[in-house]
Structure 1
Amino acid sequence: MFARVPSEVSLDWIYFPPFFFTVLFGFIGALAIARLLNWTGLSRFFWHPGLAFVALWVLTTSLLGLFVIPP
């Protein structure tokens, strides 16, 4: 009925919390979106590109955490 969320992910002898992978994949997704925005020229509409990237990172991490990798 309910999917069991692992409390930690083991890679050999190193243990990671699931939220680590959520943040990591959120960063990779934000990096991909930022590159796409730079490639299309839409990034010129952002006042501060660094803050826009952090906002994209938070947004993609939140969406991944909500729908793909629950913490």
Structure 2
Amino acid sequence: MLPVVLSATSVQLPDVTAAQIAAQEIRADPGAGSATVQLIMAGYPLAHVCLLNTAARLGDPVPRAGPGRW
């Protein structure tokens, strides 16, 4: 299980780094302030995690044993 968690983290790290590099260009836009950049930097990883969890649930059709499991 640990290699799976570490591989997911290693995939997300370059994505967040790319968003941080793009944040400098977004901040340079006259209509964008620091609040806009903060919103993007907080929302990007959140959206990534939500989509990753949804894709994992859809990609795992084998139900697990136990009560309340899908």
TM-score by length of 1: 0.42
Structure number with higher helix proportion: 2
> Of Structure 1 and Structure 2, which has the larger fraction of its residues in strand?
1
The higher-RCO structure (CA 8 Å, 6+ apart) is 1
Q: Which has the larger radius of gyration?
A: 2
